[in-house]
Amino acid sequence: MPKSTKKKVVITYGTYDMLHVGHLNLLRRAKELGDYLIVGVTSEDYDRSRGKLNVHQSTDQRVEAVKKLDFVDEVIVEKHKFQKESDVVKYDVDVFAIGDDWVGKFDYLKPYCKVVYIPRTEGISSTQLRAKKLHTINVGIVGTGRIAHRFASEAKHVSSLELTAVMSRNLTHVEEFINKHDILYGFQDFSELLIGSNVDAVYIATPHETHFKYAKQALLAGKHVLCEKPISLEPNQLKELIDIALAKKLVLLEAVKTAFFPGFEKLLSEIKKGKIGDVIEVRASFSKLISDKNQREWSSAHGGAVTELATYPLLLAQKILGESKCRSFHSIIENDVDGYTTIIQEYDRGLSLSSVGIGAKTEGSAIIAGTKGYIYVPAPWWLTKEYFIRYENASMEKRYQFELDGDGLRYEISEFVTLRNLCTPTN
């Protein structure tokens, strides 16, 4: 077909969650730039991989909503960040259009087509609509250590959540925390935080031995709980917390960030689909050298490699192989503290080996062995930014890569908010 008779093709991309007048205005303006409008709707996996959390509607719902617009000619799904360039070539695009909050970000497409940045509609966004639809959750932070500071920074990237208060026995630390993170209330007493700050939930980031006490008090007060791992050091205490949460219809979530990463979820999905056959072994390691023996991790009462780090490799083993039949611990002990431990677990048909260390360093990778092939996750496997599926035939190898925004805490925070919105607490 001669170029002169070719339709002028325009392409644009977006999430289009809770389709609103701002979306409609942008899409109409995009259509006015040509004759044929193609709209790329982001997939759920892609949204999560780029840190876009709390998207209210599924990919299918968003695609259907856009398809119903009479000025949209074709709808495609955007699955990864490199797709735009190939789509522009594939569909012989003349104009790439996008909102002006992205000015300059897509100039790399100019060698292929014209790039136009369209002004957004003032005063409306999907974030605002989600905030109206979902009640904001007011969260109080218990503790002012490093992880608490990271949590406060990451929480700003999750909608429908407001950091309301912080508590620590050290008033100076409280004052520094509220000034740094612009938090309204600061307390030295946990009971005062629960009563005096109108919080709906608490995030517990205190030493391990205090988790049970704070979590129980919060649940009994009708507050949802996100607690750093381990929630409890005793099985009977954990059961007690679970029973209270169930009875009161409250969220009790352990803050193991790996469980909520896009790459980790995709890895589990591949295994479930049988990509490597039946899994017979899960082998994973996690170590960090702590040379200062005065640190909390070397405390004989509540320290050690298992207490500090075992949650992560045990999470991987449990998610893949389920509950074990028996387990054994093999440790290198120093001053009554395990500086390095390998945990061997046996299952109906399989094994797991989980190695953790604070006094010795090892490769932080993971290998999942199956009857058809295996998955290799390079260090640090617990971030799951990349993994390989390998077979007897080396040419069949597949590589998967994922983006991880921030340090990853926003993914677990988002899951906590989502679960809370599904709960109706009882007094």
- Please list, in sequence order, all residues whose beta carbon lies within 8 angstroms of the beta carbon of residue 216, skipping any fewer than 6 positions away: 240, 241, 244
Q: Are residues 267 and 392 in the same domain?
A: yes
Return d(Cα 395, Cα 75) in angstroms, integer.
34
Task: Determine the structural domain holding residue 362 and report its residue range.
Answer: 262-403
Q: What is the CATH number of the domain that holds 209?
A: 3.40.50.720
Q: Are residues 294 and 365 in the same domain?
A: yes
Q: Are residues 310 and 329 in the same domain?
A: yes
Q: Are residues 342 and 211 in the same domain?
A: no
Q: Are residues 229 and 358 in the same domain?
A: no
Q: Domain tally for the chain?
A: 3
Q: Are residues 182 and 312 in the same domain?
A: no
Return d(Cα 314, Cα 388) in angstroms, integer.
21
Kindly state whether residue 418 falls inside one of the protein's structural domains: yes
* Residue corresponding to tokens 């399989």: 350
- Please list, in sequence order, all residues whose beta carbon lies within 8 angstroms of the beta carbon of residue 98, skipping any fewer than 6 positions away: 12, 13, 14, 105, 106, 115, 116, 117, 118
- Which of the listed residues 79, 112, 127 is the one where a domain comes to its end? 127
What Rg value do the Cα atoms of the chain yield, rounded? 25
Q: What are the φ and ψ backbone dihedral angles of 226, each rounded to 5 degrees?
A: -115, 120
Kindly state whether residue 18 falls inside one of the protein's structural domains: yes
Distances in whole angstroms, Cα of residue 43 to Cα of each of 62, 78, 137, 217, 341: 9, 6, 26, 40, 41
Q: What is the CATH number of the domain that holds 276?
A: 3.30.360.10
pLDDT tens string, the chain, 427 residues long: the values are: 344 568 999 999 999 988 888 899 999 999 999 999 999 999 987 877 665 556 778 888 899 999 999 999 999 999 888 899 999 999 999 999 999 889 999 999 999 999 999 987 655 555 554 445 557 899 999 999 999 999 999 999 887 899 999 999 999 999 999 999 999 999 999 999 999 888 999 999 999 999 999 999 999 999 999 999 999 999 999 999 999 999 999 999 999 999 999 899 999 999 999 999 999 999 999 999 999 998 888 987 888 999 999 999 999 999 999 999 999 999 999 989 999 999 999 999 999 999 999 999 999 999 999 999 999 999 999 999 999 999 999 999 999 988 887 888 999 998 898 888 777 666 6
Beta bridge partners of 357: 287, 340
* Token pair for 426: 């009882």
Q: Are residues 270 and 377 in the same domain?
A: yes
pLDDT of residue 96: 97
Kindly state whether residue 276 falls inside one of the protein's structural domains: yes
* Residue corresponding to tokens 């969650």: 17
Are the C-beta atoms of 97 and 23 separated by less than 8 Å? no
Kindly state whether residue 33 falls inside one of the protein's structural domains: yes
Q: Are residues 123 and 138 in the same domain?
A: no
Kindly state whether residue 427 falls inside one of the protein's structural domains: no
- Which three-class secondary structure string do you get for the chain? CCHHHCCCEEEEEECCCCCCHHHHHHHHHHHCCCCEEEEEEECHHHHHHCCCCCCCCCHHHHHHHHHCCCCCCEEEEECCCCHHHHHHHHCCCCEEEEEHHHCCCCHHHCCCCEEEEECCCCCCCHHHHHHHHCCCEEEEEECCCHHHHHHHHHHCCCCCEEEEEEECCCHHHHHHHHHHHCCCEEECCHHHHHHHCCCCEEEECCCHHHHHHHHHHHHHCCCEEEEECCCCCCHHHHHHHHHHHHHHCCCEEEECHHHHCHHHHHHHHHHHCCCCCCEEEEEEEEECCCCCCCCHHHCCCCCCHHHHHCHHHHHHHHHHHCCCCEEEEEEEEECCEEEEEEEEEEECCEEEEEEEECCCCCCCCEEEEECCEEEEECCCHHHCCEEEEEECCHHHCEEEECCCCCCCHHHHHHHHHHHHHHCCCCC
- Which of the listed residues 64, 94, 127 is the one where a domain comes to its end? 127
Amino acid at the residue 44: E
Kindly state whether residue 51 falls inside one of the protein's structural domains: yes
Question: Cα–chain-centroid distance for residue 284?
Answer: 20
Q: Are residues 288 and 240 in the same domain?
A: no
Kindly state whether residue 280 falls inside one of the protein's structural domains: yes
Q: What is the pLDDT of residues 96-115, one digit of tens each?
A: 999 988 999 999 999 999 99
Kindly state whether residue 9 falls inside one of the protein's structural domains: yes
* Token pair for 394: 């080396």
Q: Are residues 107 and 43 in the same domain?
A: yes
- Which of the listed residues 104, 127, 150 is the one where a domain comes to its end? 127
Q: Are residues 390 and 286 in the same domain?
A: yes
Amino acid at the residue 381: W
Q: Are residues 266 and 398 in the same domain?
A: yes
